[in-house]
Amino acid sequence: MSAPGSAGPALFRPITVRGLEIRNRVWVPPLCQYSVTARDGVPHDWHLVHLGAMAAGGAGLVVAEATAVSPEGRISDHDTGLWNDAQAEAWSRITRFIRSQGAASGIQLAHAGRKASVWPEPMRRRGSQPLDEGGWPTVSASAVAFDGYREPLALDEAGIARVIDDFRSAARRAVEAGFDLVEVHAAHGYLVHQFLSPLSNLRDDRWGGSLENRARLLLEIVRAVRAEIGEEMPLFVRFSATDWVPGGWDEDQTSVVVAWAKDAGADFFDISTGGLVAAADIPVAPGYQAHFAEYVGEHTEAAVSAVGRITDARHAERLVAEGRADAVMFGKAMMRDPHFAMRAAHELDAGTSMWPPQYLRARPEHNDGEW
């Protein structure tokens, strides 16, 4: 992992993770679009424009949305996938464009577990989809339903082995599709998080009980993915650092498992929170999750990114400059303004050269300094 240099704003210093140099610390997190019109998991023009605009807008890293490693792992039937070659080929068009704009591309590999088979946005309030309306049976660590959803089937040994192999195969296709890095989704109440949290994992076998057992699925996935992507490609893991519920998953357990995941081959940790319990009381405010990234980074010496209502360039600059995070993920801010990174560079006087040549005549220095 490269150390920050001394020149210019910290948010716009490059960072190197394994063999990949990323031009700045303004990153796009996975943002589910629920926009696969053919319902076959294949990304299309919307994904090219959505992700490509953020790359052209100056982001250092653009991570594609939670992408299912199997059909039954989708959140909804409008989700993208990476379980077949047609999907990989469609993604390759998108990664080529992102790279052409100077940004790095990542993909979040995911399995929704008990939170699968739900109506896509904006129909989510209807809960899980009935099986006779396009839904499918769901799986989890234990037969414990998410609030308002159908009861899942507890995975047996063969089912767990299939999940690990599905992540392995999807990772191989991610390489073939031209992604620069892979992220394993272990957050937001989805399958890997369901195994991690004692609130959803009630097993008494080698996949449940102790923290080591509850973390076993994640660590096996990390090892499998690392074996597929080789030694040069970075491997990220996204964690929810807390369930926001007493007796649930928390930042101390996260820190222990982050250290284990580093040993298993992961490089960088994308720290979010919540998602396992529907009724959790979450004190949402600007930067409300950033201190969890700082906590994990301090306790593990791992590289971490912060996310969560961070919309101000100077706020993000402080997080990186003070060593509280190595990068910042901007979700809704990027959706509102795909050129947020260029705007932030202007506000911080970064003097970067990341503007697309087609837009150079609109640079502030060419227009009396006004954005």
Enzyme catalytic residues? 190
Contacts of 218 (CB under 8 A, 6+ apart): 184, 186, 192, 195, 196, 237, 257, 261
- Peptide bond before residue 130 is cis, with ω within 30 degrees of 0: no
Contacts of 81 (CB under 8 A, 6+ apart): 40, 41, 42, 67, 68, 69, 70, 71, 74, 87
| CA dist., res. 31 & res. 65, Å (int) | 5
Length of the chain in terms of residues written: 371
| CA dist., res. 229 & res. 249, Å (int) | 29
Helix (H) / strand (E) element for 280: namely: none
Which residue is listed with tokens 């998602």? 275
Backbone angles phi, psi at 292, to 5 degrees: -70, -40
Are the C-beta atoms of residues 140 and 154 closer than 8 Å to each other?
yes
| CA dist., res. 208 & res. 73, Å (int) | 21
Identify any residues that bridge with 303 across adjacent strands, giving them in sequence order.
268
Beta strands in the chain (DSSP E): 15-17, 20-22, 26-28, 61-68, 104-110, 139-140, 153-154, 181-186, 235-240, 268-272, 303-306, 327-329
Identify any residues that bridge with 17 across adjacent strands, giving them in sequence order.
20
